[in-house]
Amino acid sequence: MPEYPLAERQPDRLRTPSGLPFGEITLEAALEGRLTMDDLRVTAEALELQAEIARSAGRRQLAENLERAAELTRVPEQRILEIYQALRPGRSTREELNRLAAELEQRYRAPRTARLVREAAELAPEQRDA
């Protein structure tokens, strides 16, 4: 079971997306250009650990959210914003959302998020409004 807070209790289990150990996120590293904004981002691994912590505290839905988040670490920002737009009311047909789900699954290894998008697709219209 991961020990919470990870940053204080298990920093050795944490790395930045570029592989920098947690302890090396320092002002010096920032000043010397060894740190980019992309380093200051949670990783899929850390999110899975947080999901485990949430689930063991009885918070199933929060855990599922964090697991979807772990998947979305692999999706670029622009694509995330586009998917969000596509999910808003009246933006997409059922088929478009199902295609999006397939993309999430295949391209980003994001089956849990894909499931959420497929659920949304059930309610989407077959055809776009004229």
Partner 1 sequence: MHSKRSQARARRPVHNDTFIEEWPEAGLVLFNSPYDPPAGLRIEGGRIVELDGKPEACFDMLDRFIARHAIDCEVAPQAMALDPTAVARMLTDINVPRAELIRLAGGMTPARLMQVVSRLSVVEMMLALAKMRARRTPANQAHVTNRKESPALLAADAAEAAERGFAELETTVGVSRYAPLNALAVLVGSQTGRGAALTQCAVEEALGLRLALLGLTTYAETLSVYGTESAFRDGDDTPWSKAFLASAYASRGIKVRFTSGTGSEALMGHADGRSMIYLEARCLMVVKGAGSQGVQNGSISCVALPESLPGGVRAILAENLLAALLDLEVASGNDAMASHSEIRKTAKLMLQFLPGTDFIFSGYSLMPRQDNLFGGGNFDAEDLDDYNVLQRDMQVDGGLRPVREEELLSVRRRAAQALQAVFEELGLPPIRDEEVEAAVFAHSSDDMPDRDVVADLAAAEAFLRQGRNGLDVIRALARRGYRDIAEKILGVQKLRVSGDYLQTSAMLLPGPHVVSAINDPNDYCGPGTGYRLTPERRREIAALPEAADPRTLGRSATGRSLLRPAGTAARSLDPQEIVIAVGPAFGAALQATLLGLSHRDVLQELENGIRQEGMRPRIIKIHHTSDCGFIGHAGAQLSGSGVAVGIQSKGTTVIHRRDLAPLDNLELFPQAPNLTLDCYRVIGRNAAKYAKGQPVLPVPVRIDNMARLKYIVQTTILHRRETEQVDKNRPPEEMLLEVADA
Q: Which residues bind partner 1 (CB under 8 A)?
A: 4-8, 11, 14-16, 22, 25-27, 30-31, 35-37, 39-43, 46-47, 49-50, 53-54, 57-66, 68-73, 75, 77, 80-81, 83-85, 87-89, 113, 116-117, 119-120, 123
- Grouping H, G, I as helix, E, B as strand and the rest as coil, residue 60 is helix
SS3 readout for 51-111: HHHHHHCCCHHHHHHHHHHHHHCCCCHHHHHHHHHHHCCCCCCHHHHHHHHHHHHHHHCCH
Shortest gap between Cβ of 94 and partner 1 (angstroms)?
Answer: 13
- Of 87, 82, 96, nearest to 127 by C-alpha is 96
Minimal distance, residue 74 CB to partner 1, in Å? 9
Instruction: Please report how close the Cβ of residue 130 comes to partner 1 at its closest, in angstroms.
Output: 18
- Write down the least CB distance from residue 127 to partner 1, Å: 18
Phi, psi of 60, deg, nearest 5: -60, -50
Nearer to partner 1, 79 or 130 (CB): 79
